[in-house]
Amino acid sequence: MPEFFFRTEDIRSENIQELYVGSDIDREIIDSLKSSQSVILEGSRGTGKSFLLRMAEVELDKDFTNAKILPVNISFVASSLIHTSDPEQFKNWMLALICNRLIRAFRKKGFFLMQSQATSLLCGNTTTDSIDNNEERFQRISKSYEESYKNVNLPISIVDLPDVISLKDAVEELCQENNISRICLLFDEAIHIFRQEQQRQFFTLFRDLRSPYINCNAAVYPGVTSYGNTFEMSHDATYLRIERDILEEGYVNRMKGIVLKQANESLITTLNQYGENFSVLAYAASGNPRMLLKTVDRCPRMRINDVNQVIKDYYRTDIWTEHTGLGIKYSGHRSLVDWGREFVEKDVLIATRQKNEIRADFQESTCYFWVHRDAPEPVKESLRMLEYTEIIRKHSESVRATNSHFGTRYELKLVGVLSLEATPTAIGLDLIKKLTIKRMTEYGMNSPRFSAIENIKIEEQTDEELRTILLAQLDRSIDVLDLSQWQKNTLKQNGYNAIRSILESSELDMQNIRYIGKVRSRQIRNATLAELLEYLSG
């Protein structure tokens, strides 16, 4: 069985293009990311936002000689580790990271950074050594913020950090001096893990950075993004959304192509031999490449019993464990999390199954439900959290339902619908063939299902409470990480038992472990940061 790349950050830049399997919509997104417009790209976990950003980066890098557009990829994945008494801590940390990545991008292209009044704060003196020193200087600042959870009272010096205006002036001069058309900033692994106040600060910076020499692009999650009052989507960015419609012609072939790009000869033979079983898995993934790769990885023989069991286990265990975990980490949202699970499991899924049984003779089936636009706000918040953990997906807004009322149509992930069946493979393809958006379960403004949640109040947690949550997460066993069992066992044998032990070690430390090496050490670090931190802010 091949070792799949579940996360884009584990893939080397030189391998990105050879793993690309895209639709026309994917191509349009990549081209938009490369253009001069600023783009907000929305998509759920595992849908491929990071991959498309990396594709844009690689294509711009290869075409730099002609287009003169310099891509700069910036990850804010460590934002949850910042805990200082400095009210400007988050903004300063972002600026330090941006400066560090900018200098690194210029240096990798071999540019000589001339000293001027505007660039002195960013680039220091004119010698190559000083450029390296300035890169290290900004790296030290960002690293200090990322280690601040250990000691919140430790002061961090930002005397050498430029403000936004100085940074823009420096970029303009550097572009003019080096015949660069513009800088394309690609913010990945970022906004979805910020607290709401951090999100608002980020989008203010996103707006303020834009200039004739800088355009910004950012990946966001549905349901959990707070843009703030100063950011206007219609003026400050172009909104794009990753969608892989299961009803679209060629859907299964594209999803199969994603797997084949990483498959070995044995798996290719299996996929060709058990094509219908694979198709059920592809539809169950509802357009999510990461979900598909993970489920294929769990049933490499692709036998009927294996596929049926994986569908049930993945939905009943993995997905709901992640969702329920939000309520544990964020006690102020626990009622919303618990209500959402009850609503989907004991109401929407049951109603969907009954509707499918009734409409079977009419050759119709559904995985859709509709909620009135004036439903109580806690209901909408709970649905947004269900979107975040990819149990449902917002299909379309302003949909007219019974009595001409307007609301939002949602799509249940097919893995949930199929998990209710004794043998998902027996009915899966037939159900999918009959799918129609015309049939949906409706929940009106005053639905009795909402009575248990409409008066719930959301309690925001303090910085100290969030730090307590972070410290508790750091002490959890590495068993919760998205790593192979061999990797977990190897790490434990070498003293890496808790998440903290990985986070506080360098990649170089782990490379000294037998059979780990450079690639696996990076994969382990990425998995630790991604799986630990992306739920800490929400």
Question: How is residue 281 written in tokens?
Answer: 């898995």
In this structure, what DSSP letter does residue 461 have? P
Pick the range with the lowest mean pLDDT from 177-186, 324-333, 415-424.
324-333
Confidence of residue 346 (pLDDT cuts 50, 70, 90): very high
Name, of 43-52, 347-356, 519-528, the range with top average pLDDT: 347-356
Q: Per residue in 345-370, is it b (16+ CB within 10 Å) or e — as a string?
A: eeebbebbeebbeeeeeeeebbbbbb
pLDDT of 535 reads 43
Q: 476 vs 271, which has greater pLDDT? A: 271
Q: 56 vs 86, which has greater pLDDT? A: 56
Whether the per-residue pLDDT at 224 is higher than 90: the answer is: no
pLDDT of 40 reads 94
Fold of the CATH domain 475-533: DNA polymerase; domain 1 (1.10.150)
Whether the per-residue pLDDT at 127 is higher than 50: the answer is: no
Distances (CA, A) of 32 to 20, 53, 89: 17, 10, 32
Whether the per-residue pLDDT at 536 is higher than 50: the answer is: no
pLDDT of 479 reads 79
Whether the per-residue pLDDT at 26 is higher than 70: the answer is: yes
What type of residue is 270? T
pLDDT of 442 reads 95
Whether the per-residue pLDDT at 468 is higher than 80: the answer is: no
Containing H/E element for 308? Answer: helix 304-313
What average pLDDT does this structure show over 359-387?
90
Whether the per-residue pLDDT at 381 is higher than 60: the answer is: yes
8-241 and 475-533: same fold? no
As a whole number of angstroms, the distance between CA 102 and CA 123 comes to 10
Q: 315 vs 195, which has greater pLDDT? A: 315
Question: How is residue 481 written in tokens?
Answer: 């990480």
What average pLDDT does this structure show over 279-292?
92
pTM check: above 0.85: no
What average pLDDT does this structure show over 337-352?
94
pLDDT of 57 reads 97
Q: What percent of the chain shows pLDDT beyond 70?
A: 85
Q: Per residue in 315-328, is it b (16+ CB within 10 Å) or e — as a string?
A: beeebbebbeebbe
Contact indicator for 121, 160 with CB cutoff of 8 Å: yes
Q: Provide the pairing of β-strand 368-372 with 406-412.
A: antiparallel
Fold of the CATH domain 8-241: Rossmann fold (3.40.50)
As a whole number of angstroms, the distance between CA 460 and CA 505 comes to 32
* E strand intervals along 332-391: 368-372
Whole-number mean pLDDT of the chain? 84
As a whole number of angstroms, the distance between CA 202 and CA 206 comes to 6
Label each residue of 485-524 as H, E or C: HHHHHHHHHCCCCEHHHHHCCCHHHHHCCCCCHHHHHHHH
Q: 254 vs 387, which has greater pLDDT? A: 254
Whether the per-residue pLDDT at 132 is higher than 60: the answer is: no
Whether the per-residue pLDDT at 128 is higher than 50: the answer is: no
Q: 132 vs 110, which has greater pLDDT? A: 110
Q: 165 vs 229, which has greater pLDDT? A: 165
Confidence of residue 194 (pLDDT cuts 50, 70, 90): very low
Contact indicator for 183, 140 with CB cutoff of 8 Å: no
pLDDT of 239 reads 93
In this structure, what DSSP letter does residue 272 have? H
CB atoms within 10 A of CB 5: 18
Confidence of residue 292 (pLDDT cuts 50, 70, 90): very high
Domain map of the chain by residue range? Answer: 8-241, 251-450, 475-533
Long-range CB pairs of 376-382 (<8 Å, 24+ gap) are 376/450, 376/453, 376/454, 378/336, 378/339, 378/453, 378/454, 378/455, 378/456, 378/458, 379/450, 379/453, 379/454, 381/336, 381/458, 382/336, 382/337, 382/339, 382/340, 382/343, 382/453
pLDDT of 537 reads 41
